Amino acid sequence: MKDFPIETTPGQWDFLLKQPYEFILTQSFIFESPTKTLKNIDSQLNKLQSANDAAKIQQEELEAGKEAVAAGITLFGSLHCALTVFGDTPDQARSNGIKLSAEFITSGKGFRFSRASLASPFVFFSHMPLNKRRPLDTRRTITNLACLMSFHNYSSGKKSGNPIGDGSAIMPLKTDSGSVYWFNTHYSPPEKNVTGQKIAGHAMFLGATGTGKTTFEATASGFLQRFDPLMFVVDYNRSTELFVRAYGGSYFTLQEGIYTGCNPWQLAEGPESPVWHRLLAFLKRWTQVLARDNQGNPCSDEHGIELNAAVESIMRMPVEERRTALLLDIVSPELQTRLAKWCDNGEYAWAVDSPGIPSIHCIIKKWDLIQPLSWTQKTVFILPVNLYSRSCFSTKKSCNAAAI
């Protein structure tokens, strides 16, 4: 290394992680005692002042360095840096060396390496430990060394000891440097084996249209199939229909005005079902949400008690007869007015008053929204779908949920 920029910052050489060349970069630093450093700075200041040098900024920097050394803030020493670039042929090695040295000037913001000629053997052997010959060493601070030796790297993820399945990572990915990143949706300490522990996992993929978000999700879902998961996917515009069907899943398309096939009343046959008590509690809360007025105000306590009793009455009926519309036969006229739009031929009956539900005994459940829903429609639809997914999950030990 021949020339040094005015300023160095941490991570200034991180661009090296992306370079497609094989190379060896070696730095060495020999500390200098503070007494010797102060003596050398005073000597240099005297030379500049004796020669009436107009480089005032350089003198100010030397004074600042002198104060930093005297206060113990930094240390000076001899810094040496050598770079050897390889190639399959001598011409390729020279070409790679030219390209990489140019990167130090542009991406590295001012570092310049000169090609060694007669000193080539000394430069090469300066890579070796305990070598005393260090060509083109310069006096620099420990701060310069720290900035150029930041030990940054790309994350490698966690290969084994993860929560789901056999503990192996979901899939390997390639980083910009060509190294492997072991992708997981569950965070856990890298050195700790947490296989089998119930740790929540989350992932969100962002990108422009057509950049491969759905493709990546389909690929990750394919790798997950080795764990025999139950997947519940909410889709838009049928973007993942192909891979859901390829993995043996059931795919349902939702369109406004057409019954969704989602009927939370029929998710459990009786009290012996593992989700019965959760289902009953959910239906009581849900019906009170449906009974809100047009301004979103909740129903009164009296109406809440009335709805709870109506829910219990409906749940005592045969499972195939349960529907939201049965509320109209039980509740008072005021509640009938509020619930009318959710029942029979009401505006939102298609979302919550389906006559029955499809079989839930499949590997993957897939709901596709052909067109965007309004806030009210989303609230009405997502609540029963959420419970629907929970009832599915209760039958599997390994559960993964994905949403697009």
Residues 325 and 210 in one domain: no
Q: Which helix (H) or strand (E) holds 122?
A: helix 120-125
Q: Note the pLDDT of residue 84.
A: 94
In a domain, 398, yes or no: no
Q: Is 255 helix (H, G, I), strand (E, B) or coil?
A: coil
Residues 306 and 366 in one domain: yes
**What is the distance in angstroms between the CA of the first residue and the CA of the last residue of the chain?**
51
Residues 279 and 214 in one domain: no
Q: Note the pLDDT of residue 363.
A: 41
Q: Note the pLDDT of residue 385.
A: 53
User: What is the Cα–Cα distance from 223 to 182, expressed in whole angstroms?
Assistant: 12
Residues 88 and 112 in one domain: yes
Q: Note the pLDDT of residue 232.
A: 81
Q: What does the chain come to in residues?
A: 404
In a domain, 63, yes or no: no
Average pLDDT, stretch 254-261? Answer: 80
Q: Note the pLDDT of residue 237.
A: 82
User: What is the Cα–Cα distance from 170 to 167, expressed in whole angstroms?
Assistant: 9
Q: Which of 138, 23, 19 is nearest to 83 (CA)?
A: 23
Task: Give 232-256 pLDDT, tens digit per residue.
Answer: 888 888 888 888 888 888 887 777 8
Task: Give 131-147 pLDDT, tens digit per residue.
Answer: 888 888 888 999 999 99
Q: Note the pLDDT of residue 53.
A: 63
Q: Note the pLDDT of residue 96.
A: 95
Residues 271 and 238 in one domain: no
In a domain, 101, yes or no: yes
Question: Using 50, 70 and 90 to split pLDDT, how confident is the model at 82?
Answer: very high
Q: Is 313 helix (H, G, I), strand (E, B) or coil?
A: helix
DSSP 135-175: TT-EEEEHHHHHHH--------B--S--SSTTS--SEEEE-
Half-sphere exposure of 252 (CA within 13 A, CB side): 19
Residues 285 and 375 in one domain: yes
In a domain, 174, yes or no: yes
In a domain, 9, yes or no: no
Average pLDDT, stretch 150-171? Answer: 93
User: What is the Cα–Cα distance from 96 to 99, expressed in whole angstroms?
Assistant: 5
In a domain, 4, yes or no: no
Q: Note the pLDDT of residue 390.
A: 52
Burial of 69-88, coded b for 16+ CB within 10 Å and e otherwise, reads beeeebbbbebbbbbbbeee
pLDDT at 379 over 50: no
User: What is the Cα–Cα distance from 264 to 283, expressed in whole angstroms?
Assistant: 8
In a domain, 47, yes or no: no
Query: What is each CA distance from 17 to 12, 81, 148, in whole angstroms?
Result: 11, 17, 13
In a domain, 275, yes or no: yes
Least confident of 43-47, 55-59, 230-234, 238-242: 55-59
Dihedral of the alpha carbons of 128, 115, 113, 132, in degrees to the nearest 10: 30
Residues 119 and 226 in one domain: no
DSSP 168-214: --SEEEE-TTS-EEEE-SS---TTS--TT------------TTSSHH
pLDDT at 370 over 70: no
Task: Give 197-214 pLDDT, tens digit per residue.
Answer: 999 998 999 999 889 998
Residues 217 and 322 in one domain: no
pLDDT at 349 over 70: yes
Residues 91 and 20 in one domain: yes
Choosing from 193, 225, 250, the residue where a domain stops is: 250
Average pLDDT, stretch 21-38? Answer: 93
Question: Using 50, 70 and 90 to split pLDDT, how confident is the model at 386?
Answer: low
Choosing from 250, 285, 316, the residue where a domain stops is: 250
- Cβ neighbours for 230, distance < 8 A, ≥ 6 positions apart: 363, 364, 365, 392, 393, 395, 396, 398, 399, 400
Question: Using 50, 70 and 90 to split pLDDT, how confident is the model at 55?
Answer: low
Q: Note the pLDDT of residue 361.
A: 43
Longest dimension (CA), the chain: 106
Parent domain of 106: 14-32+75-148
Residues 168 and 126 in one domain: no
Residues 135 and 211 in one domain: no
Q: What percent of the chain has pLDDT over 90?
A: 46
Q: Note the pLDDT of residue 132.
A: 84
> How many domains in the chain?
4
Q: Note the pLDDT of residue 380.
A: 47
Q: Note the pLDDT of residue 357.
A: 65
Q: Note the pLDDT of residue 336.
A: 92
Residues 317 and 366 in one domain: yes
Choosing from 130, 148, 166, the residue where a domain stops is: 148
Q: Is the pTM value of this prediction over 0.75?
A: no
